[in-house]
Amino acid sequence: MQAYHSKQRGSCPTPYQMLKIATAGGAGLLGREDLGSLEPGKAADLFMIDSRRLELAGAIHDPANLIARTAVTGPVDLTMVNGRVVFEGGRIAGLDEEELAAKAEAACTRVIRSKSSAY
């Protein structure tokens, strides 16, 4: 609740204002009109989180500041890069994670065996 009421003080930029500085402001400084906000014709790189998570309880009362204020560090529910969904439902789109994990395990096993035979 302290975070919610802190905006009443008006003594510093809000988390939402800092997010705008980092996104739209950063794109503007770089001269990139194709980045910085969610609008038709722009790159549309974004992520989404389910705000009903326990660690975000109370945060939905200040949705503009939710992500910046709560410092979400956990998993996201959806990620888009250039308008294309690349992660959703805990899975990377177009990637067979089980196959990749099996190949990684096989590579580790080969390295371990080669090191063991060297001794």
Place of tokens 């014709």: 41
- Quick one: which H or E segment has residue 27? helix 26-29
Domains within the chain, CATH numbers bracketed:
2-94 (2.30.40)
Q: Is the dihedral of CA 51, 56, 57, 59 positive or negative?
A: negative
pLDDT digits (tens, 9 = 90+) for 37-90: 888 888 878 888 888 888 777 777 777 767 666 666 677 889 998 889 999 988
pTM score, whole prediction: 0.59
Q: What pLDDT is recorded for position 109?
A: 94
Residue 93 above 60 pLDDT? yes
State percent of the chain over pLDDT 90: 28
Average pLDDT, the chain: 81
